């Protein structure tokens, strides 16, 4: 099953080139704030599944709708750094995810397949793409064993972990700008995923293939990531885990189009646009005169 969120919080099932609107069957008010309908749907999925599958209601063309990020208001957005050896080599990193652990990105950085990546006005800094498989958590879980880890996964999506480079600024800030975590174009539910440990993934900037890898090369594998994340923090339905990027990261700029494709999961292209400005405060503490009483 491919579950989409579209046109202002509506929920749909992708069937070929069409979307069947199942907002009513999902029990979601698209206008609610905070927009936690998808989190509730994932939590209630076993009870709602039959009604969703039986839905015959209005069909729309996928190409005609605005695709939104599937889970806009998760409890958290977890990300694993340096989880492919070739990316470790290109970054000159001294660690890998299996010994370093995870970090968090701001949930508000999530956008969907129908949105744009907005690059902040940060003179002299590069903004990079990272091509990643997203795990969408399906149930509350803590201290999960490797054996039980697969049962925690609701589904999979494509994810771009957009990043301002430079180690002088906190990683959380560099990766948390609005629009810096496109996820989509939908959630492929785990029961329809043949083998997530052997997925080809690609990312292009315009027509140039920048990243091409396979999830078999993950340093910390999918069960390992769930085991590690849940050893520190309770996982909740709808939590998103960014599994790390392979080599080939590079700069994006206004005017580019970034395309990600993960075998069996989906494909999405987002335009890159320039922000209206106002972000260049990273060096604020250095540029500002010292206060007298500091
Ligand atoms: Mn990343």
Give the dihedral sign, CA 56/62/65/71. positive
Residue 287 above 60 pLDDT? no
Quickly count: other Cβ atoms within 10 Å of residue 66's Cβ: 13
Domains and CATH numbers, the chain: 2-67 (2.30.30.370), 69-284 (3.90.850.10)
Residue 119 CA, ligand 1 centroid: distance in Å: 17
188-222 residue pLDDT tens: 999 999 999 999 999 999 999 999 999 999 999 99
Residue 51 CA, ligand 1 centroid: distance in Å: 36
Model pTM score: 0.94
Residues with CB under 5 A from ligand 1 (ion): 130, 161, 245
140-191 residue pLDDT tens: 999 999 999 999 999 999 999 999 998 888 999 999 999 999 999 999 999 9
The stretch 52-67 carries a mean pLDDT of 93
d(CA 216, CA 103): 22
Residue 294 above 50 pLDDT? no
Residue 259 CA, ligand 1 centroid: distance in Å: 16
**C-alpha 174 chain-centroid distance:** 16
Residue 240 CA, ligand 1 centroid: distance in Å: 13
Percentage, residues of the chain above pLDDT 90: 83
């Amino acid at each position: 099953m491919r579950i989409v969120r579209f046109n202002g919080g509506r929920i749909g099932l992708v069937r070929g080139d069409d979307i069947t609107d199942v907002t009513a069957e999902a029990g979601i008010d698209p206008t609610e704030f905070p927009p936690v309908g998808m989190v509730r749907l994932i939590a209630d999925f076993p009870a709602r599944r039959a009604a969703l599958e039986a839905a015959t209601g209005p069909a729309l063309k996928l190409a005609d709708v605005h695709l939104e990020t599937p889970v806009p208001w998760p409890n958290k957005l977890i990300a694993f750094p340096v989880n492919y050896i070739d990316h470790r080599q290109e970054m000159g990193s001294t660690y890998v995810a299996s010994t370093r652990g995870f970090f968090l990105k701001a949930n508000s950085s999530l956008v969907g397949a129908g949105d744009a990546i907005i690059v902040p006005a940060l003179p002299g800094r590069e903004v990079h793409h990272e091509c990643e498989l997203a795990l969408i958590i399906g149930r509350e879980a803590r201290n999960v064993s490797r054996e039980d880890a697969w049962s925690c996964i609701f589904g999979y999506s494509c994810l771009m972990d957009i990043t301002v480079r430079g180690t002088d600024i906190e990683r959380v800030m560099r990766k948390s700008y609005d629009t810096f975590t496109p996820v989509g174009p939908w959630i492929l539910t785990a029961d329809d995923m043949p083998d997530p440990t052997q997925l080809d993934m690609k990312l292009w900037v315009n027509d140039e293939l920048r990243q091409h890898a396979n999830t078999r090369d993950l340093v910390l594998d999918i069960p390992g990531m769930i085991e590690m994340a849940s050893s520190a923090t309770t996982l909740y339905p709808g939590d998103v885990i960014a599994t790390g990027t392979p080599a080939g990261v590079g700069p994006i700029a206004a005017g580019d189009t970034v395309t990600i494709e993960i075998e069996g999961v989906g494909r999405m292209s987002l335009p890159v646009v320039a922000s209206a400005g106002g972000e260049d405060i990273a060096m604020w503490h250095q540029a500002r005169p010292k206060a007298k009483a500091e």
